[in-house]
Copies of this chain bind each other. A is one copy, B any other.
Amino acid sequence: GAGQRLSPAYSSLFFYRTLEPALRDLTQPLIDHAEGQLFLNEAFKIIVEEVLHKGTDAEEKVCEWREPESLALLLDLQLRDTGESQGRLLQRVRNVAKYSIKTSHPHFFNQQFGGVDYHSLAGRFLTEALNTNLFTYEVAPVFVLMETEVLKALRQLVGWTDGDGIFCPGGSTSNMYAMNLARYKLFPEVKTKGLWALPRLAIFSSPGSHYSVQKGASYLGFGTDSVVLVKVDDGGRMIPEDLDAKIELAKSQGFVPLLVSCTSGTTVLGSFDPLDCIADVCDKHQLWMHVDAAWGGSVLFSKQHRHLMKGVERAKSVSWNPHKMLLAGLQCSAFLLQDTTNLLKRCNCANASYLFQQDKFYDVNLDIGDKSVQCSRKVDCLKLWLMWKAVGSTGLEHRVDKAFLHVRYLLEQMKKRDGFQLVSTPEFVNVCFWFIPPSLRGKEGNADYQDKLAKVAPVIKERMMKEGTMMVGYQPLGDLGNFFRVTVFSPHICHKDMDFFLDEIERLGKCL
């Protein structure tokens, strides 16, 4: 037979004799499923109890603060040669839960994610158990079709009947896809020849845009000097006239203007750039208009609030993170594309023949993996799909509308209290404010007022973390000293939680 071509390579496996007999026994697999499933059952119970039950109880802590050294000691993180008992491991599961931040707690206001949707979570457990890699129809039949359908539904909300897209590991990556596609569209030779073969390019964005525009410019080889910051109005919205002027200026300096990265829902203020007017400028100069709606995109579900993104249908691409306001769970970031010419695949494909064979027995257009700059790619669509099936577009619309109602309530309550001063007029569900402690009230004229005010938020933050009662972020912005940013979107909260929020800021800051 053809067997003679078998080489003696594996006869060099002399180590065989040195191995333990149990390992040499090829009649038994190394992993016992029954025992493993027992462990998983017990771990599941602990997860439900610690993370989902206690972790969402307003009476429990958001945070069990420990200093890093003491936490490291407590967790005994070191990895060793020998394994541990199941009981010890279950205690580890409990400890990890205990000392982690409870991001689904009603008093977690720290970031633009958080909250638990149980249908999404079931989808995430299923995703993990299936452990599917989203390359091809052959290995991911359900998810190739599902991702396509979810992207289509998201595109319809943008206002596109056709197009393309992909799920990315986060909004930064989605924004980088836009930059990469824009330059490939204009200069396809960049794929082979690199940026050296191209004129210097310019990317336009606002100072309030997400830092991934800067990171992307650096990572993709443009350099951060390629990013031109356009002026914003009092509400943090890009000024189209200044965009036009900056584009002209860049041209006069020898740059080729490539792309405008607009923002729908800036990170700090929650501002929405005026997309329709920006689209006019993009049309005029033939620029790629990208909308970073990672945070704000969810308003598209709301008949009442989608006007904030009027003009989005004129964009060439949109980033939208359902893991933020919609609670789809990390990571869930859609990159949506108006293009119907297979630009995404043409730009990113490498045609690896071990994966994307062309002689398959089904339509190889279903092998969507080559659209990605990744190879292994996690399934991020199932959780969103299952949640969407569970509550419908209307249920998601309600979450968005309710978030605006919560903000309205919070603003009304702030107005009734002393010491809460807004940084700007909220347009979305970010409420940015200074808390003026009693000792600083009426002292606005003092020379050291701003310095003293800027020190208030960090102290209140430290106190709330150490007591573990709630979490909210603060930051400076341009010339403005530290102020709090509370993002009010969790469907877990009710008016009591917002009252608590304000009471707690007052309590922690009153003696400052």
Contact = CB atoms under 8 A, between A and B. Distances in A.
A473 to B, nearest CB: 7
Contacts of A393: 79-81
A412 B352 CA distance: 31
B117 A31 contact: yes
A419 to B, nearest CB: 6
Interface in A448-506: 455, 458, 461-462, 465, 471, 473-477, 482, 485, 491-496
Contact of A79 (B65, B153, B200, B416): B153
Interface stretch (A158-166, A242-250, A422-430): A422-430
Given A28-B494, A29-B493, A77-B149, A363 B89 contact: no
Nearest to A411: B10
A239 interface: no
A373 B26 CA distance: 44
B33 A52 contact: yes
Contact of A375 (B2, B41, B170, B193): B170
Given A350-B215, A414-B3, A476-B353, A79 B492 contact: no
A390 interface: yes
Contacts of A128: 121, 124-125, 128, 329
A386 B485 contact: no
Nearest to A424: B7
Contact of A359 (B53, B131, B482): B482
B119 A29 contact: no
Contacts of A267: 352, 354
B100 A142 contact: yes
B125 A97 contact: no
A125 B125 contact: yes
A233 interface: no
A135 to B, nearest CB: 8
A283 interface: no
A17 to B, nearest CB: 11
A118 to B, nearest CB: 3
A103 B139 CA distance: 8
Interface bin, chain A? 35 or more
Nearest to A397: B81
A353 to B, nearest CB: 5
A232 interface: no
Copy tally for this chain in the complex stands at 2
Interface stretch (A67-75, A271-279, A309-317, A337-345): A67-75
A125 B47 contact: yes
A511 interface: no
Nearest to A394: B81
Contacts of A82: 392, 394
B100 A116 contact: no
Interface string A346-367: 0110101111010111110010
Given A129-B52, A491-B31, A374 B172 contact: yes
Scoring A114, A130, A197 by chain B CB atoms within 10 A of each residue's CB, the highest score goes to A130
A494 B268 contact: no
Contacts of A79: 149-150, 153, 385, 388-389, 392-393
A223 B191 contact: yes
A357 B414 contact: no
A18 interface: yes
B226 A390 contact: no
Given A360-B458, A394-B82, A131 B149 contact: no
A113 B83 CA distance: 23
A5 interface: yes
19 contacts: A1-B417, A9-B427, A10-B411, A13-B404, A29-B494, A43-B122, A44-B122, A68-B366, A77-B146, A96-B146, A97-B129, A100-B132, A101-B130, A101-B139, A125-B128, A192-B225, A195-B195, A267-B354, A357-B458
Given A10-B426, A26-B495, 13 more contacts: A1-B418, A9-B427, A29-B491, A31-B115, A44-B125, A77-B145, A79-B150, A110-B139, A191-B224, A216-B373, A219-B348, A323-B376, A331-B376
The 9 closest A-B pairs by CB, nearest first: A221-B221, A194-B223, A36-B118, A1-B418, A30-B491, A169-B169, A43-B122, A354-B475, A15-B304
